[in-house]
Chain A
């Protein structure tokens, strides 16, 4: 698959509130960059990109509630 662009779906690992959206659609990101910050049970949980690429889609807004498994963003 080398050289071929693969879409990476970033999903929520738990029920949480979306506290902060750090990136915008079209931003280029590196692996480890924070995309959004979730808040659940008095904890802040940064959601990070697992690859280098571009934010192709962003499925959440600040204040949203996400369920475990919901897609937060797509990185291409």
Chain B
């Protein structure tokens, strides 16, 4: 086992990784931008190094600066968290070339799954169901119109290199396809440096269900259950739960088997997530994409299984066995995660600011993974996630009840905050019934 880990990230995920690193008796090294010097993750680390300015390109995305910090701190391994460089195959290769352990899947797996078109084709070849769509990047708007005639409407125009809900657009009206295609292509070129765009069939009433997989050091790929991530605004998740209230045991079994098949097809190692869309009425599901990293919502799975996924990641990276027997895993009860964002609860527009009040809820089955504290500032340079509230109950009713109490007890002042949205969600009849789909937030905000 390596004895030190550099965490190439910030906020709640850096703090969460540091916690496990230290619990395992290893040295945790934080890197940070100048504006993050007083953040909790910097204070929590055994050693912290300032690597540059606030803009991500000058710090958390600066490969040379991070590798230099690793050299100076004599780090032996690097954990990338999620976002920033987590799914950057070149970064993973350079970490390995510097003689460090990369805590994540192989650079080849990252590259194979990072290209959405390639990923779809690989999954189709492995026997995983995929939705109708283009098999190669679509050149221009005219080609998009020809492809759309086969795929049908509504369809999704999607940047091949995109992620995190960015660079995608639903087109319902064929007359607007050309303009939307041009917009996404320009956005993709600017945002991701790759103008590749694909089209695929869009299913309006589906659930977004993903399967957590783990590729072990002995080569086995295991599925650790599903998470339902259908509560989304702007194609970005804001609440996740498990078990999915819309997935039957039979559908779950098929999805988990397909996710294992997907991981085996590319010789996957370490933690990954196979995202699917499930049409609950027909019982069909299709592969959406694979995320080759730890997910924001991984605590849902940890809570349900009583596992530390970051610990498993470290063990796998060190070629050691995991802490559990995959044949003996038993999920207990119901888990729910709410993403506490610095955004207004009505329109979900970001509202950064200095935090003047920060009181986290406590109690049975309540876990808070937070990146901020009173006296710290949510800046415009980074995403709006301030904390994750995770609740566990013996069943869904108890989990929702505990969530209501925890949301009411959570106090945040300074930045805008979406806590009132969660109070509303937890009393929304559609959400409470469990029979919701990815359109739920939009319906909650429809003018009455």
Q: Hey, which bits of chain A sit against chain B, CB under 8 A?
A: 13-17, 40-45, 65, 68
Contacts and interface: CB of A to CB of B under 8 A. Distances in A.
B2 interface: no
A47 B424 CA distance: 27
11 contacts: A13-B349, A15-B352, A15-B353, A16-B380, A40-B380, A41-B352, A41-B380, A41-B381, A42-B166, A44-B187, A45-B350
Nearest to A39: B380
Contacts, number: 38
Interface in B148-205: 164, 166, 187
A63 B400 CA distance: 44
Most A CB contacts (10 A, CB to CB) among B187, B234, B352, B382 go to B352
Contacts of B342: 41
Interface size class of B (residues with CB under 8 A): 10 to 19
A14 B383 contact: no
5 tightest A-B CB contacts, nearest first: A41-B350, A42-B383, A41-B384, A40-B380, A40-B350
A40 B382 contact: no
A74 B66 CA distance: 45
Contacts of B384: 41-43
Contacts of B137: none
B351 interface: yes
A42 B351 contact: no
Contacts of A13: 349
Contacts of B234: 43
Nearest to B83: A42
Most A CB contacts (10 A, CB to CB) among B164, B350, B351, B384 go to B350
Given A17-B380, A45-B349, 5 more contacts: A14-B352, A16-B350, A41-B342, A41-B352, A44-B187
